[in-house]
Amino acid sequence: MGLSEVIKYIVDKPLELKEKNLLVNRSKEIKNLNNIIKYHPFGIFGISGETGIGKTTVLNFIKCENVFSKRITLTFRESVESILYDLLYNLSKGLEKDKKLSKLAKETKEWVIEEVSTVKGFSLGISLYGSANTNLQKSKTPRFNFFAAKEKLGELLRKIVSVKGKFALIIDELDKESKSDTLQIVDALKNELLFENIITIMTLPYSIYREYKFDRLRWNESGNLENIFKDIILLEELTDSDIKELLLRRIHKFMNIIPSESLDPIIEFADGNPRDVLWMLSKVIFENIEKDILKKEDTILTIKKITNEYLTELKLTPLQKKAFELLKDLTGNRDEFLTILQQNNIKRTTAYSILNTFIERKIIITKGTKLKLSGKYKFLNL
Ligand SMILES: Nc1ncnc2c1ncn2[C@@H]1O[C@H](COP(=O)(O)OP(=O)(O)O)[C@@H](O)[C@H]1O
Ligand SMILES: [Mg+2]
């Protein structure tokens, strides 16, 4: 068994129920979501966290006991309109085979197809004839019929509830949107979704969680997210030992060619993100695919090579470089970091601003009150 064999065990895709043996941690969050579906009468709930942290995976493990549910994965996300159409299409398509809902579902689906083909056909026409064609511009430009689509969605949702009782609508991939687009779409749909017996659970970009938290704590002047979301569940980074566990569950068969210590630098690189650890491990394996055994030095070499390649963008000033070297191997609180910088002749105000920049750019990451260098930067040669 060579290193190449490992590749298929570390593919990056959301886990499914049948792969439960590979899932680490997250039982608390999954239980929380199950309880939301079970006990809340209605509401929109978010699940947030950085990309690759496991949002889709967690959604896949939700159990909707005694609650009718549909999962929707959005794919057309060019605009608020296309998201709404995509949602409506996928939802109605998923209900086509349901005896009591199939009539309305089919009608709705056909309506979406018809609308979209008109709009698409028209915009294709414009691009074929060029925008200089004034006739075409003067004629009525068909648009996505946003209000009609909203109404159709409302109608379908009310029908579902009347036939099935409680309904859990699970929407994935909204986390890929920009914050403002996501808010716009959720705001536009809230009247349809905030309806007795409808529980909506959607993935959200991390930035929305931050803002939501500030709203709840009244730190935002014009807080309104709390009016939309009943709660947002944050998926935090996993611990290093969880990440190790995640790897071992996948590649335990290969411990004779991948000694545990060779995984440590990769785990450090990942900063608790499952996707990052899988990605870097597969990079490391590819880079060393001819070798019989993966040594720790090999691992470090690959990570250095890759991070140095990706991070040429970093462009630190000489003073920032100095600070970087000073803080590189430390873990501590803010004051301790500032003290170190000042003891090394960096002025207080400069030290403050450098530290803030590092935190903003995620060069230094925070865990509670503790700060440390992100594993992404640990292997960097400045
Ligand atoms: N708790 C977990 N245990 C094991 N593997 C996980 C876990 N969470 C995520 N993964 C893996 O990490 C990768 C990213 O997960 P995914 O659910 O796609 O993240 P997101 O939807 O937040 O971008 C996938 O390959 C998935 O299998
Ligand atoms: Mg996802």
pLDDT at 314: 81
Cα 371 from Cα 34, distance rounded (Å): 34
Give the mutation target among 57, 172, 237, 277 for probing the ligand 1 site: most ligand atoms within 8 A of CB.
Answer: 57
Q: Which is higher by pLDDT, 314 or 288?
A: 288
Average pLDDT, stretch 322-349?
Answer: 95
Does the beta carbon of 55 sit less than 6 angstroms from any atom of ligand 1? yes
Instruction: State which ligand 1 atom lies nearest to the alpha carbon of 53.
Output: 22
Could you tell me if residue 64 is inside a domain?
yes
Per-residue tokens: 233: 């569940």
Please tell me the predicted confidence (pLDDT) of residue 313. 76
For residues 319 and 354, is the Cβ–Cβ distance under 8 A? yes
Instruction: Please name which ligand lies nearest the alpha carbon of 174.
Output: 2
Q: What is the mean pLDDT of residues 318-331?
A: 94
Q: Is 211 contained in some domain? A: yes
Q: Which atom of ligand 1 is nearest to the CA of 274?
A: 12
For residue 257, the enclosing domain spans 239-310
In ligand 1, the atom with minimum distance to the C-alpha of 235 is: 22
Does 199 lie in the same domain as 338? Answer: no
Q: CB of 140 within 8 A of CB of 171?
A: no
Is 278 near ligand 1, meaning CB less than 6 Å away?
yes
Interval between CA 173 and ligand 2 midpoint (Å)? 6
- Average of per-residue pLDDT across 322-343: 95
Is the same domain home to 283 and 194?
no
Alpha carbon distances (Å) from 228 to 71, 193, 204: 20, 10, 13
Average pLDDT in the 299-307 region?
A: 95
What pLDDT does residue 1 have?
72
Sheet holding 198-204, edge to edge: 68-73, 167-172, 198-204, 43-48, 229-234
* Domain harbouring 202, CATH code: 3.40.50.300
Claim to verify: residue 188 and residue 212 sit in the same structural domain: yes
Question: Does residue 140 surpass a pLDDT of 80?
Answer: no
* Confidence category of residue 188, pLDDT binned at 50, 70, 90: confident
Q: Are residues 197 and 50 in the same domain?
A: yes
Instruction: State the pairing for strand pair 167-172/68-73.
Output: parallel
Ligand nearest to the CA of 53: 1
Whole-number pLDDT of residue 70: 97
Beta strands at 229-234 and 68-73: parallel, antiparallel or unpaired: unpaired
Q: Where is the domain boundary, 286, 310, 334?
A: 310
Residues 229, 356 within the same domain: no
Last-in-domain residue among 234, 262, 281: 234
Average pLDDT over residues 346-374: 93
Our answer on whether the CB atom of 306 is closer than 6 Å to any ligand 1 atom is no
- Give yes or no for residue 14 CB within 6 A of ligand 1: yes
> How far, in Å, from the CA of 331 to the mean position of ligand 2?
31
118, 32: one domain: yes
Look at ligand 1, atom 16, and give the residue with the nearest C-alpha: 54
- Report the mean per-residue pLDDT for the chain: 90
Asked, for residue 43, whether it belongs to a domain, the answer is yes
Indicate which residue's Cα is closest to atom 8 of ligand 1. Answer: 54
Minimum-distance ligand 1 atom for the alpha carbon of 172: 21
Within-domain flag for 6: no
Q: Whose CA is nearest to atom 15 of ligand 1?
A: 54
Assess if residue 271 is contained within a domain.
yes
88 pLDDT more than 60 = yes
Whether pLDDT at 138 is above 70: no
Is the CB of residue 26 below 6 angstroms from any atom belonging to ligand 1? Answer: yes
Region 69-95: what's the mean pLDDT?
89
C-alpha distances (whole Å) from 365 to each of 57, 149, 263, 290, 345 are 24, 43, 21, 35, 23
> Quick one: average pLDDT of 2-12?
96
Question: Which of 310, 336, 358 represents a domain boundary (last residue)?
Answer: 310
| Proportion of the chain above pLDDT 70, given as a percent | 92
- The reported pLDDT for the residue numbered 249 is 98
Q: Domain check: are 217 and 356 in the same one? A: no
The phi, psi pair for 380, rounded to 5°, reads: -85, 140
243-247, 249-253, 373-377: range with lowest mean pLDDT: 373-377
Angle 143-146-147 from CA coordinates, rounded to 5°: 130
* pLDDT reading at 166 higher than 90: yes
Of 126, 106, 104, 102, residue with least CA distance to 114: 106
Ligand 2 centre to CA of 341 (Å) is: 39
Counting residues of the chain whose pLDDT is more than 90, the rounded percentage is 71
Is residue 323 packed enough to be buried (19+ CB in 10 Å), middle (13-18) or exposed (0-12)?
A: buried
Query: In terms of domains, do 274 and 339 share one?
Result: no
Asked whether the beta carbons of 359 and 350 are under 8 A apart, the reply is: no
Q: What pLDDT does residue 201 have?
A: 97
Task: For residue 278, report the distance from its CA to the centre of ligand 1, in Å.
Answer: 9
**Count of domains for the chain:** 3
